[in-house]
Amino acid sequence: MDRFLERIIVEDLKKKLVILVGPRQVGKTWLAKKIMPHYKRPLYLNYDNQKDKTIITNQSWLHSTDLLIFDELHKMPQWKNYMKGVYDTRPESLHILLTESARLGTFRHNGDSLLGPFFIHHLLPFCPSEIKDMPLDKFLERGGFPEPILAESPIDAKRWRNQYLEGIIRDDILDFENVHNFKTLKTLLEMLRQRVGSPLSFNSVAKDLQVAPNTVKKYIGIFESLFIIFRITPYSKNIARSLLKEPKIYFFDTGLVKGDDGLRFENLAAVSLLKHCYTSKDVIGENHYLHYLRTKDGREVDFCIVDDDRISYIAEAKLQDGQSSKSLHYFKEKYDLKAVQLTAYLRNEYIKDGIEIVNGERFLRELYS
Protein backbone atom coordinates (compact mmCIF):
# COMPACT_ATOMS: atom_id res chain seq x y z
CA MET A 1 0.00 0.00 0.00
CA ASP A 2 1.44 3.37 -1.04
CA ARG A 3 2.05 6.23 1.37
CA PHE A 4 1.40 9.79 0.30
CA LEU A 5 4.84 10.98 1.41
CA GLU A 6 6.87 8.65 -0.83
CA ARG A 7 7.03 10.90 -3.89
CA ILE A 8 7.52 14.02 -1.74
CA ILE A 9 10.52 12.53 0.06
CA VAL A 10 12.08 11.33 -3.19
CA GLU A 11 12.04 14.91 -4.47
CA ASP A 12 13.25 16.43 -1.19
CA LEU A 13 16.22 14.04 -1.02
CA LYS A 14 17.59 15.76 -4.11
CA LYS A 15 17.83 19.01 -2.17
CA LYS A 16 18.67 18.29 1.48
CA LEU A 17 19.01 15.71 4.21
CA VAL A 18 15.54 14.29 4.98
CA ILE A 19 14.45 13.29 8.47
CA LEU A 20 11.39 11.03 8.76
CA VAL A 21 9.85 11.05 12.24
CA GLY A 22 6.83 9.32 13.71
CA PRO A 23 5.62 6.64 16.10
CA ARG A 24 7.33 3.28 16.29
CA GLN A 25 5.79 0.67 13.93
CA VAL A 26 3.99 3.35 11.91
CA GLY A 27 5.84 2.26 8.75
CA LYS A 28 8.96 4.46 8.59
CA THR A 29 11.32 1.60 7.74
CA TRP A 30 8.83 0.20 5.23
CA LEU A 31 8.54 3.60 3.54
CA ALA A 32 12.32 4.10 3.54
CA LYS A 33 12.78 0.76 1.79
CA LYS A 34 10.05 1.69 -0.72
CA ILE A 35 12.19 4.69 -1.65
CA MET A 36 15.30 2.56 -2.27
CA PRO A 37 14.28 1.41 -5.80
CA HIS A 38 14.41 5.05 -6.91
CA TYR A 39 18.23 4.77 -6.62
CA LYS A 40 20.89 2.64 -8.28
CA ARG A 41 23.07 1.96 -5.19
CA PRO A 42 20.95 2.45 -2.05
CA LEU A 43 22.05 1.19 1.37
CA TYR A 44 19.91 0.67 4.47
CA LEU A 45 21.79 0.68 7.80
CA ASN A 46 20.23 -0.06 11.19
CA TYR A 47 22.34 0.86 14.21
CA ASP A 48 20.84 -2.06 16.15
CA ASN A 49 22.41 -4.50 13.68
CA GLN A 50 26.02 -5.25 14.61
CA LYS A 51 27.32 -5.46 11.02
CA ASP A 52 25.49 -2.26 10.08
CA LYS A 53 26.82 -0.60 13.23
CA THR A 54 30.39 -1.35 12.14
CA ILE A 55 29.77 0.13 8.69
CA ILE A 56 28.22 3.21 10.28
CA THR A 57 31.04 3.69 12.77
CA ASN A 58 33.76 3.29 10.14
CA GLN A 59 31.80 5.07 7.40
CA SER A 60 32.79 2.12 5.22
CA TRP A 61 29.99 2.17 2.66
CA LEU A 62 30.96 2.02 -1.02
CA HIS A 63 31.84 5.27 -2.76
CA SER A 64 29.21 4.43 -5.37
CA THR A 65 26.39 4.51 -2.79
CA ASP A 66 23.83 7.11 -3.85
CA LEU A 67 21.30 6.76 -0.97
CA LEU A 68 22.10 6.16 2.69
CA ILE A 69 19.24 5.31 5.05
CA PHE A 70 20.08 5.49 8.76
CA ASP A 71 17.72 3.80 11.21
CA GLU A 72 17.99 3.98 15.03
CA LEU A 73 20.99 6.30 14.69
CA HIS A 74 19.95 8.26 17.80
CA LYS A 75 21.36 5.37 19.87
CA MET A 76 24.85 6.26 18.69
CA PRO A 77 26.84 8.52 21.06
CA GLN A 78 27.21 12.02 19.62
CA TRP A 79 25.05 11.01 16.67
CA LYS A 80 24.24 14.60 15.68
CA ASN A 81 27.90 15.50 15.27
CA TYR A 82 28.45 12.25 13.39
CA MET A 83 25.54 13.00 11.06
CA LYS A 84 26.72 16.55 10.46
CA GLY A 85 30.18 15.28 9.54
CA VAL A 86 28.81 12.67 7.14
CA TYR A 87 26.47 15.14 5.47
CA ASP A 88 29.00 17.98 5.19
CA THR A 89 31.67 15.75 3.59
CA ARG A 90 29.45 13.62 1.36
CA PRO A 91 29.76 13.76 -2.45
CA GLU A 92 26.90 15.57 -4.19
CA SER A 93 25.68 12.27 -5.60
CA LEU A 94 24.98 10.88 -2.10
CA HIS A 95 21.53 11.48 -0.61
CA ILE A 96 20.70 10.76 3.03
CA LEU A 97 17.48 9.74 4.78
CA LEU A 98 17.30 9.50 8.57
CA THR A 99 14.36 7.84 10.40
CA GLU A 100 13.43 8.60 14.01
CA SER A 101 10.83 7.23 16.45
CA ALA A 102 11.03 10.08 18.95
CA ARG A 103 10.20 13.74 18.62
CA LEU A 104 13.15 15.84 17.54
CA GLY A 105 12.35 18.74 19.84
CA THR A 106 15.71 20.44 19.40
CA PHE A 107 15.36 20.62 15.62
CA ARG A 108 13.92 23.67 13.93
CA HIS A 109 12.00 23.58 10.67
CA ASN A 110 14.23 26.21 9.07
CA GLY A 111 17.09 23.73 9.11
CA ASP A 112 19.27 25.79 11.45
CA SER A 113 20.66 23.06 13.69
CA LEU A 114 23.73 20.97 14.37
CA LEU A 115 22.75 18.74 11.46
CA GLY A 116 22.79 21.50 8.90
CA PRO A 117 20.06 21.99 6.28
CA PHE A 118 17.31 19.38 6.28
CA PHE A 119 13.66 18.71 5.54
CA ILE A 120 11.52 17.03 8.17
CA HIS A 121 8.48 14.86 7.45
CA HIS A 122 6.05 13.39 9.96
CA LEU A 123 4.74 9.93 9.18
CA LEU A 124 1.59 9.36 11.21
CA PRO A 125 -0.89 6.46 11.27
CA PHE A 126 -3.19 5.91 8.31
CA CYS A 127 -6.22 8.21 8.27
CA PRO A 128 -9.32 8.18 6.04
CA SER A 129 -7.54 10.60 3.67
CA GLU A 130 -4.96 7.90 2.83
CA ILE A 131 -7.13 4.77 2.75
CA LYS A 132 -10.27 6.15 1.17
CA ASP A 133 -12.04 2.78 0.79
CA MET A 134 -11.57 1.71 4.42
CA PRO A 135 -14.87 1.79 6.38
CA LEU A 136 -15.03 4.35 9.16
CA ASP A 137 -16.02 1.63 11.64
CA LYS A 138 -12.70 -0.10 11.08
CA PHE A 139 -10.72 3.06 11.85
CA LEU A 140 -12.71 3.49 15.07
CA GLU A 141 -12.10 -0.10 16.12
CA ARG A 142 -8.47 -0.59 15.08
CA GLY A 143 -6.91 2.85 14.78
CA GLY A 144 -4.59 3.66 11.89
CA PHE A 145 -1.31 1.82 12.51
CA PRO A 146 -0.54 -0.45 9.53
CA GLU A 147 -0.45 -3.82 11.28
CA PRO A 148 -3.74 -3.70 13.23
CA ILE A 149 -5.78 -1.96 10.55
CA LEU A 150 -4.61 -4.42 7.89
CA ALA A 151 -4.82 -7.48 10.18
CA GLU A 152 -7.12 -10.31 9.12
CA SER A 153 -8.98 -10.42 12.43
CA PRO A 154 -9.80 -8.12 15.39
CA ILE A 155 -8.00 -10.59 17.66
CA ASP A 156 -4.74 -10.13 15.76
CA ALA A 157 -5.18 -6.35 16.05
CA LYS A 158 -5.66 -6.59 19.84
CA ARG A 159 -2.63 -8.85 20.22
CA TRP A 160 -0.52 -6.35 18.27
CA ARG A 161 -1.69 -3.46 20.47
CA ASN A 162 -0.84 -5.25 23.71
CA GLN A 163 2.64 -6.10 22.45
CA TYR A 164 3.12 -2.58 21.10
CA LEU A 165 2.37 -0.92 24.44
CA GLU A 166 4.49 -3.38 26.41
CA GLY A 167 7.37 -2.92 23.97
CA ILE A 168 7.32 0.87 24.26
CA ILE A 169 7.15 0.81 28.05
CA ARG A 170 9.77 -1.94 28.39
CA ASP A 171 12.25 -0.74 25.76
CA ASP A 172 11.79 2.87 24.68
CA ILE A 173 10.97 4.46 28.02
CA LEU A 174 14.11 2.92 29.50
CA ASP A 175 16.01 5.37 27.27
CA PHE A 176 14.71 8.23 29.43
CA GLU A 177 16.59 9.01 32.62
CA ASN A 178 15.07 8.96 36.11
CA VAL A 179 12.01 6.87 35.29
CA HIS A 180 11.88 4.39 38.12
CA ASN A 181 8.20 4.09 39.00
CA PHE A 182 6.90 2.12 36.02
CA LYS A 183 3.75 1.12 37.91
CA THR A 184 2.72 4.77 38.25
CA LEU A 185 3.65 5.44 34.64
CA LYS A 186 1.49 2.56 33.41
CA THR A 187 -1.38 3.64 35.65
CA LEU A 188 -1.16 7.16 34.24
CA LEU A 189 -1.31 5.81 30.71
CA GLU A 190 -4.44 3.82 31.55
CA MET A 191 -6.02 6.94 33.08
CA LEU A 192 -5.31 8.97 29.96
CA ARG A 193 -7.00 6.30 27.80
CA GLN A 194 -10.22 7.11 29.66
CA ARG A 195 -9.85 10.91 29.62
CA VAL A 196 -9.44 11.54 25.91
CA GLY A 197 -10.87 14.84 24.72
CA SER A 198 -11.35 16.39 28.18
CA PRO A 199 -9.29 19.27 29.58
CA LEU A 200 -6.60 17.70 31.75
CA SER A 201 -5.62 19.08 35.14
CA PHE A 202 -2.11 17.97 36.05
CA ASN A 203 -2.82 18.73 39.71
CA SER A 204 -5.96 16.60 39.71
CA VAL A 205 -4.22 13.66 38.04
CA ALA A 206 -1.27 13.98 40.42
CA LYS A 207 -3.66 13.84 43.36
CA ASP A 208 -5.30 10.68 41.99
CA LEU A 209 -1.89 9.05 41.52
CA GLN A 210 -0.50 10.43 44.80
CA VAL A 211 2.57 11.87 43.09
CA ALA A 212 3.89 15.37 42.45
CA PRO A 213 2.36 17.37 39.54
CA ASN A 214 5.84 17.70 38.01
CA THR A 215 6.06 13.90 37.85
CA VAL A 216 2.80 13.79 35.90
CA LYS A 217 4.07 16.50 33.54
CA LYS A 218 7.33 14.59 33.05
CA TYR A 219 5.61 11.29 32.27
CA ILE A 220 3.15 12.95 29.89
CA GLY A 221 6.12 14.60 28.21
CA ILE A 222 7.68 11.16 27.70
CA PHE A 223 4.45 9.83 26.18
CA GLU A 224 4.45 12.80 23.82
CA SER A 225 8.10 12.35 22.88
CA LEU A 226 7.44 8.73 21.92
CA PHE A 227 4.38 9.63 19.81
CA ILE A 228 1.95 7.79 22.09
CA ILE A 229 -0.17 10.85 22.79
CA PHE A 230 -0.38 14.46 21.67
CA ARG A 231 -1.88 17.45 23.38
CA ILE A 232 -3.84 20.36 21.96
CA THR A 233 -4.11 23.62 23.86
CA PRO A 234 -6.81 26.31 23.93
CA TYR A 235 -6.30 28.88 21.21
CA SER A 236 -5.07 32.28 22.28
CA LYS A 237 -3.29 35.00 20.37
CA ASN A 238 -0.92 35.01 23.34
CA ILE A 239 0.64 31.57 22.73
CA ALA A 240 2.54 31.58 26.04
CA ARG A 241 -0.73 32.15 27.90
CA SER A 242 -2.38 29.40 25.88
CA LEU A 243 0.23 26.86 26.94
CA LEU A 244 -0.55 27.52 30.59
CA LYS A 245 -4.19 26.49 30.16
CA GLU A 246 -5.39 22.92 30.51
CA PRO A 247 -4.58 20.84 27.41
CA LYS A 248 -6.66 18.05 25.94
CA ILE A 249 -4.98 14.70 25.33
CA TYR A 250 -5.48 12.46 22.30
CA PHE A 251 -3.81 9.22 21.20
CA PHE A 252 -2.03 8.66 17.89
CA ASP A 253 -3.58 5.18 18.00
CA THR A 254 -7.36 5.60 18.10
CA GLY A 255 -7.60 1.92 19.04
CA LEU A 256 -6.13 2.79 22.47
CA VAL A 257 -9.06 5.02 23.41
CA LYS A 258 -11.28 3.55 26.11
CA GLY A 259 -14.75 4.92 25.47
CA ASP A 260 -17.70 4.78 23.12
CA ASP A 261 -17.60 5.28 19.36
CA GLY A 262 -18.33 8.99 19.82
CA LEU A 263 -15.10 9.45 21.76
CA ARG A 264 -13.18 7.32 19.29
CA PHE A 265 -14.52 9.40 16.40
CA GLU A 266 -13.38 12.58 18.16
CA ASN A 267 -9.91 11.05 18.59
CA LEU A 268 -9.80 9.97 14.93
CA ALA A 269 -10.80 13.50 13.90
CA ALA A 270 -8.02 14.92 16.11
CA VAL A 271 -5.37 12.63 14.56
CA SER A 272 -6.60 13.41 11.06
CA LEU A 273 -6.57 17.17 11.65
CA LEU A 274 -3.12 17.02 13.26
CA LYS A 275 -1.85 15.04 10.29
CA HIS A 276 -3.33 17.68 7.98
CA CYS A 277 -1.46 20.41 9.92
CA TYR A 278 1.85 18.52 9.84
CA THR A 279 1.56 17.74 6.14
CA SER A 280 0.66 21.33 5.27
CA LYS A 281 3.75 22.54 7.11
CA ASP A 282 6.18 19.81 6.02
CA VAL A 283 5.17 19.68 2.36
CA ILE A 284 3.94 23.14 1.31
CA GLY A 285 5.21 25.35 4.12
CA GLU A 286 1.83 26.51 5.40
CA ASN A 287 1.76 27.06 9.16
CA HIS A 288 -1.41 25.32 10.28
CA TYR A 289 -1.94 24.53 13.95
CA LEU A 290 -4.51 22.52 15.87
CA HIS A 291 -6.12 24.00 19.00
CA TYR A 292 -9.48 24.03 20.72
CA LEU A 293 -11.64 26.85 22.08
CA ARG A 294 -12.76 27.25 25.68
CA THR A 295 -14.14 30.13 27.75
CA LYS A 296 -13.91 30.63 31.51
CA ASP A 297 -17.57 29.71 31.89
CA GLY A 298 -17.01 26.33 30.20
CA ARG A 299 -18.13 26.92 26.60
CA GLU A 300 -15.99 24.63 24.48
CA VAL A 301 -15.50 23.61 20.85
CA ASP A 302 -13.51 20.46 20.05
CA PHE A 303 -11.17 21.84 17.40
CA CYS A 304 -9.87 25.12 16.07
CA ILE A 305 -7.69 25.16 12.93
CA VAL A 306 -5.36 28.15 12.90
CA ASP A 307 -3.49 29.39 9.82
CA ASP A 308 -0.56 31.40 11.18
CA ASP A 309 -2.48 33.55 13.69
CA ARG A 310 -5.89 33.48 12.00
CA ILE A 311 -8.65 30.97 12.71
CA SER A 312 -9.58 29.17 9.49
CA TYR A 313 -12.53 27.32 10.98
CA ILE A 314 -13.82 25.70 14.14
CA ALA A 315 -15.18 22.16 14.27
CA GLU A 316 -17.12 19.86 16.56
CA ALA A 317 -17.09 16.06 16.20
CA LYS A 318 -20.32 14.12 16.72
CA LEU A 319 -21.23 10.51 16.08
CA GLN A 320 -24.87 11.01 15.09
CA ASP A 321 -26.93 13.80 13.56
CA GLY A 322 -28.95 15.84 16.00
CA GLN A 323 -29.04 19.26 17.59
CA SER A 324 -26.09 21.43 16.58
CA SER A 325 -23.58 22.35 19.27
CA LYS A 326 -24.58 25.43 21.28
CA SER A 327 -20.93 26.26 21.90
CA LEU A 328 -20.19 26.01 18.17
CA HIS A 329 -23.03 28.45 17.51
CA TYR A 330 -21.81 30.79 20.28
CA PHE A 331 -18.26 31.08 18.92
CA LYS A 332 -19.48 31.39 15.35
CA GLU A 333 -21.79 34.30 16.17
CA LYS A 334 -19.50 36.09 18.62
CA TYR A 335 -16.35 35.99 16.47
CA ASP A 336 -17.84 35.54 12.99
CA LEU A 337 -16.04 32.22 12.39
CA LYS A 338 -16.62 29.48 9.87
CA ALA A 339 -18.14 26.61 11.85
CA VAL A 340 -18.36 22.96 10.85
CA GLN A 341 -20.04 20.08 12.66
CA LEU A 342 -18.46 16.77 11.67
CA THR A 343 -21.13 14.09 11.98
CA ALA A 344 -19.74 10.59 11.55
CA TYR A 345 -22.88 9.00 10.16
CA LEU A 346 -24.84 11.50 8.07
CA ARG A 347 -26.74 10.91 4.85
CA ASN A 348 -27.55 14.46 3.78
CA GLU A 349 -25.37 17.49 4.51
CA TYR A 350 -27.03 20.82 5.26
CA ILE A 351 -26.61 24.24 6.86
CA LYS A 352 -28.34 25.15 10.11
CA ASP A 353 -28.04 28.59 11.71
CA GLY A 354 -24.98 29.23 9.58
CA ILE A 355 -23.23 26.04 10.74
CA GLU A 356 -22.23 23.48 8.10
CA ILE A 357 -23.47 20.04 9.20
CA VAL A 358 -21.27 17.72 7.14
CA ASN A 359 -20.55 14.03 6.78
CA GLY A 360 -17.53 13.54 9.04
CA GLU A 361 -16.22 10.56 7.12
CA ARG A 362 -16.24 12.53 3.86
CA PHE A 363 -14.65 15.54 5.51
CA LEU A 364 -11.76 13.52 6.93
CA ARG A 365 -11.20 11.71 3.61
CA GLU A 366 -10.79 15.05 1.81
CA LEU A 367 -8.22 16.56 4.19
CA TYR A 368 -4.77 17.29 2.72
CA SER A 369 -2.72 14.58 4.41
pLDDT 10s digits, 137-184 = 999 999 999 999 999 999 999 999 999 988 887 777 776 666 778 889
The phi, psi pair for 21, rounded to 5°, reads -120, 155
- CB atoms near residue 249 (< 10 Å): 22
Sequential DSSP letters for 237-261: SSHHHHHHSPPEEEESSGGG--S-H
DSSP state of 199: B
* Average pLDDT of span 180-189: 87
Cα dist. 173→102, 120, 148, 219, 220 in Å?
Answer: 11, 24, 22, 10, 12
Rg of the chain on CA atoms, in Å = 22
Alpha-helical (H) ranges within 42-90 are 50-58, 79-89
The answer, yes or no, to whether residue 239 has pLDDT greater than 70, is no
The model's confidence at residue 109, banded by pLDDT at 50, 70 and 90, is very low
Question: Could you tell me if residue 207 is left (phi over 0), alpha (psi between -120 and 50 degrees) or otherwise beta?
Answer: alpha
Angle at 361 between CA 356 and CA 364, to 5 degrees: 80
What is the model's pTM?
A: 0.93
**pLDDT tier for residue 69 given thresholds of 50, 70 and 90:** very high
DSSP state, residue 173: G
Cα–Cα distance for residue pair 47/75, rounded to 1 Å = 7
Give yes or no for residue 20 having a pLDDT over 60.
yes
Three-state secondary structure call for residue 323: coil
Per residue in 8-17, pLDDT tens?
Answer: 999 999 999 9
Read off the pLDDT of each residue in 288-309 and give the average, rounded to a whole number. Answer: 93
pLDDT, mean over the chain:
91
Percent of the chain predicted with pLDDT > 90: 79
What is Dmax (Cα atoms) for the chain? 67
Mean pLDDT along residues 269-280: 97
Percent of the chain with pLDDT over 70: 93
pLDDT at 322: 79
pLDDT at 199: 94
Q: By C-alpha distance, which of 27, 25, 21, 20 is closest to 164?
A: 25
Closest C-alpha among 217, 204, 196 to residue 271: 196
Give the chain's domains with CATH numbers: 5-122 (3.40.50.300), 136-365 (no CATH)
* pLDDT score at 175: 65
- Identify any residues that bridge with 307 across adjacent strands, giving them in sequence order: 288, 310
For helices 213-225 and 182-193, the axis angle rounded to 10 degrees is: 70
Lowest mean pLDDT, pick from 83-92, 113-122, 154-163, 246-255: 113-122
Please indicate whether residue 304 or residue 165 has the higher confidence score (pLDDT): 304
Q: Which pLDDT score, from 0 to 100, does residue 82 have?
A: 94
pLDDT, residue 106, reads 40
